[in-house]
Amino acid sequence: MAIRRKDSFLWGKALPKLPTGERRHSETIKIHKFELLDDIQKLRLEINHVMPEIHSPEMKEQNKNVVRNRRFLRGKKKFNMDPKKGVHYLVEHDLLEWQAESVAEFLYKEEGLNKTAIGNFLGERDEMHLEVLKAFVGLHEFSDLNLVQALRFFLWSFRLPGEAQKIDRMMEAFATRYCDCNPGVFQSTDTCYILSFAIIMLNTSLHNPNVKDKPSLQRFVSMNRGINNGDDLPTELLTKLYASIRSEPFKIPEDDGNDLTLTFFNPDREGWLLKMGGRVKTWKRRWFILTDSCLYYFEYTTDKDPIGIIPLENLCVRKLQDTSKPYCLELYNPKGQKIKACKTENKGRVVQGKHQSYKLSAASEEERDSWIDAIRASITKDPFYDLVFLRKRKVILNNSS
């Protein structure tokens, strides 16, 4: 008979033997555990090895550069959406000096900036913006270039805004810079200013398909008589400028993929509007460009060709109450006639529109009213002609006094 030891309670009961499969599984777990512990130890050693490098001045500087580059890209994106806010962000984060020369160089040399945003920023009238404009124009070298060549160079670096006062300031700065680079070509900056506008208007008249009456060389020479402080400019010079524009129109740099050349140069207004269909009465979002007394609309901002053109000749615009959409406006013919417009069908064929009127819807009351004002202004007058008229009158008064 087995004798039970008094201290058997110290030993407890013997563990039962595990089945072979479970025993092997347990051993596998132990092996993985030791491997993981070994890997953890190796990682600790590697971390301890690289920590001095991470905290080194070189690595800290590299990390600062990464953060700086990210902020700079964010600032450029902000600039393209709102130029003032973008510049403010870059200055606030010490990425740009709030000095006219620094800002001008940023606008002139930095890639990826929206040309429309550059034009809007340069066109502002407060003192700092005027200094930036002067510095920006000063970065252009116009020496030994004729006026058309200089305008091509100048208008490639930004996009002229639509407001007459902004255009006036920017073209005044251009004329001053051109005369400084080419002394003796013109008797005054007024001459350069007037002729520059005449060239821009000539470009539009010659290359806009909606302008039927194309100006001849004789008319171009005639309209620029007496602008050189009362004297005529050399016919040879005007002939050369006319031939240059006739053979090659101004080309405007692309913005976000847009090929904004010829007709879409210097629009009065552009933006998204909802348009009511003619045959199918549904609202569709379209990108509209208002220029040269015509309203062009596109499916996307990146489209090079419009899907519809609405000549504004003999049309009127008014507010419209519509139960389906707020902030509506309507283009209509006061005589009740069908509007002479055209559009592109799916297969690319151009057909005449069948609208008695065009119903459009803006995003807000303010935006609707701005479109109405811009359309009315586009129908009635051209700011270029107003600016040239005022400057010509100034030249005449100065010569008569």
Strands 283-291 and 357-361: unpaired
Output the furthest CA–CA distance in the chain (Å, rounded). 145
Question: Would you tell me how many other CB atoms lie within 10 Å of the CB of residue 356?
Answer: 11
Contact of 331 with 295, CB cutoff 8 Å: yes
Active-site position among 97, 163, 313, 365: 163
DSSP string, 38-60: HHHHHHHHHHHHHHHHHTSHHHH
Contact of 368 with 327, CB cutoff 8 Å: yes
SS3 270: strand
Residue 358 pairs in a beta bridge with: 331
Contact of 262 with 208, CB cutoff 8 Å: yes
Distance CA 84, CA 118 (A): 10
Is 58 among the residues known to form the active site? Answer: no
Contact of 311 with 321, CB cutoff 8 Å: no
SS3 342: strand
Which residues are catalytic, by number?
163
